[in-house]
Amino acid sequence: MDLRNLPDGLSPADRCDERRRRIERELGTPLEAARADGARIGQAEEKNCEQMFGHVPLPIGLAGPLAVSLSSGERIEAYVPLATTEGALVASVNRGCKALSESRGASVTSIHHGTSRSLAFRVNNTDGVRSFMAFLSEKENEWKAVATATSGHLSILSYAIDASSNHVFLTISCDTGEAMGMNMVTIAAQAIGEWVLNHTKENVEFTTVAGNVDSDKKPSARTREHGRGYAVTASATIPAEVIASVLKSTPEAMVLTAQAKLEHGSKIAGAIGANLHAANVVAAVYLATGQDVAHVVEGSLADTTVEPEGNGIRISVRLPALLVGIRGGGTGLPAQNQCLNVLLQPKTSLPPRAQLAETIAAAVLAGELSLLAAQASHTLASSHKKMAR
């Protein structure tokens, strides 16, 4: 099936249509429902998807207002677009937003660790591993200069050197401006690897630009512990009267459910990340705003804690790795860009990318709070029966 050799002069939408017709003929499967809308695909056919033949509509719901105290000290009321096909999810997050907003909102803090990439080298003389590691440390300023020369938007925030047998890994973590920047960091890492080969005296092979220590799009204890992208913590105190009126539960039931689920259940499972359903909210916001949705893997590493406080509860969620951007990737596609503009508040001193990460964490907190209440009150099954069938 030839989906690349198309007639000259076709528009992006026409190219999609031509491919779709060829696929329909070859596979005998109708694809009219996936037909590309030329007014809505933006530059997806040229920049985002090879051999594009259409697009799949995703339902988008709105949760909010969500009261958030940002790390800058500013307070905002956010509205959160959620792209999902799971009935009851938007309603649940919306309920959590209401509970948070009636409880003085979510307080958020964040640390920017940067986007990381791990170069892997093989040292052919095992005795040379230590001297090669020392070389990387000694030449830090030189290989950093090589990396930053690849882009005017990139700077290196930190690096780590690890060894396993005769393999040495150099992991760089970078600030990439307003973009999530995975491609930017990969290009910089490739330049470092090539420079190292030309300047080291050791017998070394540059094995790969992506050696898995960075755990890109994969769960790892290292990412959970040390963070990647933005590490964000969102927390709130929910009084008993809000738990009763909005969440239809009690502080005691919610604490007991949290202990069973987050402490004991997660421990038995060997979970990397003890949370209720953080990935649900991360994925829905990522899809709506044009993020790289595969990074929901790192987003799922969240840890949620619940404890009694006053006559209510204190609930917190730490997301160690939110990889987000407001430029590049899918953020420039028409619908995704508009949803991004719904979520971002234009009049804050916090950089928009940091604001995006912090708002996502607050939305995750809303989702954790509402689902915990549903499980504590034994209404999870009935809610899905009512709303998701």
**What residues are labeled active site?**
86, 292, 384
| CB-based burial, 241-264: b 16+ in 10 Å, e otherwise | ebbeebbebbbebbbebbeebbee
Closest CA to 90 of 56, 107, 66, 110: 66
- Residue given tokens 């909010």 in the structure block: 64
| CB-based burial, 273-283: b 16+ in 10 Å, e otherwise | bbbbbbbbbbb
The CB density around residue 152, as the number of other CB atoms within 10 Å, is 8
Q: Which two tokens stand for residue 139?
A: 């030449």
Closest CA to 322 of 211, 208, 234: 234
Strands 75-83 and 60-69: antiparallel
Query: How many residues in the chain?
Result: 389
| Amino acid type, 220 | S
Q: Is 165 exposed, middle or buried (0-12, 13-18, 19+ CB in 10 A)?
A: exposed
| Amino acid type, 125 | N
